[in-house]
Amino acid sequence: MSRLLVIGCGGVAQVAIQKCCQNSAVFTELMIASRTEEKCIALKEKLEAAGCPVKLSTAKVDADSVDELAKLIDSYKPDAVLNVALPYQDLTIMDACLKCKVDYIDTANYEPEDTDDPEWRKIYEKRCKEKGFTAYFDYSWQWAYEDRFKEAGLTALLGTGFDPGVTSVFTAYAKKHYFDEIDTIDILDCNGGDHGYPFATNFNPEINLREVSANGSYMENGKWVETEPMEIKRVYNFPEVGEKDMYLLHHEEIEALGRNFPEVKRIRFFMTFGQSYLTHMKCLENVGMLSTSPIMFEGREIVPIQFLKALLPDPASLGPRTVGKTNIGCIFTGRKDGKERKIYIYNVCDHQECYKELGSQAISYTTGVPAMIGTALVVKGLWKKPGVFTTDEFDPDPYMEMLNEFGLPWVVDENPELVP
């Protein structure tokens, strides 16, 4: 018996909420609150018409305002808050959870909306020098809440999507069942789906384009090594998808895994991109369309990347037209009982199957299902301890079981091709 407040009603939220309705043994009441309440109401009506057993309600909230959030949390009194709005709202929602004494869950680490803010920039530039990577997002902002969550006896579970999220659970599972020591981790994110548009992003375009146009980086012997954007390319033959070009990116779970598994000598992250996507992105970047700095246009201030977002297809609308599969997972090398070992733990997800089940494409599906699973484990008390945690810091077994149960079955290949 539990009551959940979900913030955000975009592509990922719509999957997470529908999966909560499939798990009504855990979630009995659920409020959908977002900036545009009409979207929340439309989803509630769709679910009620389909006979959803969970008691649903909706609200309008500006998640940039701690006061507005706290008022809503105080009036609804949820057991936990699932943040599937944007990474820009992570800190305000964490503040509101502390104020109202409820557990907090999200799928992506904090990133500021305005990267020109001089206060933020000072801290960012210091971090770039000290740590050696230049991504706009990092865990320091949320890890700084550790003492406050601990003292309040509350849990903050960070990054329970697929990557980060499931990839970190795969790491904890590999360490628990397959290795005494892990030497290397290669996280592979392959989207073999085709939506038929010349250019579109699979999740929020602003967050997605910021991530993929930034410098790449990986961790070696505890230190960050930074690369130019898309500098390192590999070709990999993905089970059930086939051969794809993939590029090394900076990704947030590298930071948490590097901290929590210090014996691992190298951690890298690769994502597949087709040539056409990269050419479009480079062109948009060259003309300034990926900029987050406001410019004046016909007497009004606009942010180029937000204007671009308005032109691009809504990721939530890609479902009906996307065909093909994703393959996301981790290749581990290391030793067990003195013997060398390598495994690839991965999930394959079919875009059309996801669409048939929930009306969404596989990228939102593979993020929304783990968002529900992480939340259910916190609410059930299985993953509940005071402090701020990533998903590799708990027993992976119940999470792995729920992946099989709720639509993301996984495979362990004990003789995978390695990435050079």
Per DSSP, the three-state class of 335 is strand
Q: Does 190 sit near ligand NDP (CB under 6 A)?
A: no
Find the shortest distance in angstroms from Cβ 414 to ligand NDP.
Answer: 26
Tokens of 416: 């995978």
Find the shortest distance in angstroms from Cβ 259 to ligand NDP.
Answer: 18
Find the shortest distance in angstroms from Cβ 64 to ligand NDP.
Answer: 4
Closest to ligand NDP by CB, 162 vs 346, is 162
Window of 31-39, 145-153, 278-286, 345-353 that interacts with ligand NDP by CB under 6 A: 31-39
Q: Which of 30, 32, 56, 86 binds ligand NDP (CB under 6 A)?
A: 86
* Binding residue count for ligand NDP, defined by CB under 6 A: 33
Asked if residues 348 and 325 have their Cβ atoms less than 8 Å apart, the reply is yes
Closest to ligand NDP by CB, 152 vs 188, is 188
Q: Does 32 sit near ligand NDP (CB under 6 A)?
A: no
Q: Which of 2, 18, 22, 34 binds ligand NDP (CB under 6 A)?
A: 34
Mark residues 89-128: x for contact with ligand NDP by CB under 6 A, - for none: x-----------------xx--------------------
Mark residues 218-257: x for contact with ligand NDP by CB under 6 A, - for none: ----------------------------------------
Instruction: State the residue number with the nearest CB to ligand NDP.
Output: 10
- CA nearest to 148, candidates 137, 140, 156, 159: 156
Q: Which amino acid is at 102?
A: V
Q: How far apart are CA 163 and CA 373, in angstroms?
A: 14
Q: How far apart are CA 61 and CA 40, in angstroms?
A: 11
Q: How far apart are CA 209 and CA 213, in angstroms?
A: 6
Find the shortest distance in angstroms from Cβ 137 to ligand NDP.
Answer: 9
Find the shortest distance in angstroms from Cβ 308 to ligand NDP.
Answer: 13
Query: Using CB under 6 A, which residues numbered 154 to 173 contact ligand NDP?
Result: 159, 161-165
Q: Does 329 sit near ligand NDP (CB under 6 A)?
A: no
Q: Which of 18, 155, 347, 367 binds ligand NDP (CB under 6 A)?
A: 367
- CA nearest to 54, candidates 77, 14, 25, 11: 25
Q: Which of 4, 5, 6, 12 binds ligand NDP (CB under 6 A)?
A: 12
Which residues sit opposite 242 in a β-bridge?
Answer: 238
In sequence order, what DSSP letters do the residues of 248-288 get, joined into one string?
E---HHHHHHHHH-TT-SEEEEEEE--HHHHHHHHHHHHTT
Q: How far apart are CA 91 and CA 80, in angstroms?
A: 16
Q: Name the phi and psi angles at 120, rounded to 5.
A: -65, -40
List b or e across 383-404, with b for residues whose CB sees 16 or more CB atoms inside 10 angstroms: bbeebbbbbbbbebebbbebbe
Find the shortest distance in angstroms from Cβ 136 to ligand NDP.
Answer: 12
Which residue in the block uniquely carries the two structure tokens 């606009």? 302
Mark residues 294-323: x for contact with ligand NDP by CB under 6 A, - for none: ---------------------xx-------
Find the shortest distance in angstroms from Cβ 335 to ligand NDP.
Answer: 29
What are the respective helix, strand and coil percentages of the chain, to the nearest 5?
Answer: 40, 25, 35
Closest to ligand NDP by CB, 204 vs 347, is 204
Q: Which amino acid is at 51?
A: G
Q: Which amino acid is at 407?
A: G
Q: Which of 61, 100, 369, 400 binds ligand NDP (CB under 6 A)?
A: 61
Residues in Cβ contact with 298 at an 8 Å cutoff, skipping those fewer than 6 apart: none
DSSP state of 94: H
DSSP state of 114: -
Find the shortest distance in angstroms from Cβ 373 to ligand NDP.
Answer: 12
Binding region for ligand NDP (CB under 6 A): 8-13, 34-36, 39, 61-64, 84-87, 89, 107-108, 159, 161-165, 203-204, 207, 315-316, 367
